[in-house]
């Protein structure tokens, strides 16, 4: 009788890779960080809500206030930027050992964000394309883990 042997060392490697997926902190942090950057550009640079439409437009009176006080103005589209404080406070926030959120840890900025959503609609939610980006990040992470 011929005896066949198989190298099962690859199973140990596979088990380690599977365990790394169960401890998803690295992946969750990566998703949150990349989403944070996409959302920051959309909200604070492009002035778009979660549905892709413009947040709104500044009134002529407010535009004059901004110009008079030396605040940057690149048109009348609302971009939730005046002093830069809110934009600079936008960050990944650990909610627990296994959860991350994206937002403001400064209450004043969080209150401004709440006010903006009450006035203009959903802003701080993932867009469809941002959600697709999250799925791509997860797929790439899993693929690189098992290469």
Q: How far apart are CA 105 and CA 102, in angstroms?
A: 9
**Whole-Å CA distances, 69 to 11, 45, 72, 83:** 65, 20, 9, 11
Where do the H-state alpha helices sit in 1-147? 9-22, 25-40, 60-68, 85-89, 107-120, 128-145
- Residue pair 147/120 in contact (Cβ under 8 Å)? The answer is no
Full-model pTM: 0.75
Residue (of 59, 60, 63, 56) closest to 80 by Cα position: 56
Give the H/E segment covering residue 90: strand 90-94
| Domain ranges (residues) in the chain | 19-145
Angle, alpha carbons 108-113-116 (nearest 5°): 125
**Whole-Å CA distances, 118 to 40, 78, 103, 124, 142:** 19, 15, 16, 11, 38
pLDDT tens sequence for the chain (147 residues): 455 444 444 444 555 555 666 567 788 888 889 999 999 999 988 999 999 999 999 888 988 888 888 876 777 888 888 788 888 999 998 888 778 889 898 899 999 999 999 999 999 999 999 989 988 988 888 788 767
């Amino acid at each position: 009788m011929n005896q066949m042997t198989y190298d099962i060392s690859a199973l140990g490697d596979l088990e380690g890779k599977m365990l790394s997926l169960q401890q998803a902190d690295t992946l969750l942090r990566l998703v949150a960080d990349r989403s944070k950057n996409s959302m920051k550009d959309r909200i604070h640079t492009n002035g778009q809500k979660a549905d892709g439409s413009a947040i709104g437009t500044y009134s002529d009176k407010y535009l004059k206030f901004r110009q008079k006080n030396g605040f940057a103005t690149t048109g009348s589209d609302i971009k939730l930027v005046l002093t830069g404080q809110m934009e600079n406070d936008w960050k990944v926030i650990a909610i627990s050992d296994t959860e991350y959120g994206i937002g403001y840890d400064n209450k004043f900025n969080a209150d401004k964000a709440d006010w903006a959503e009450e006035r203009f609609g959903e802003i701080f939610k993932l867009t469809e394309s941002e959600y697709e980006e999250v799925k791509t990040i997860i797929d790439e992470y899993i693929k690189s883990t098992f290469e």
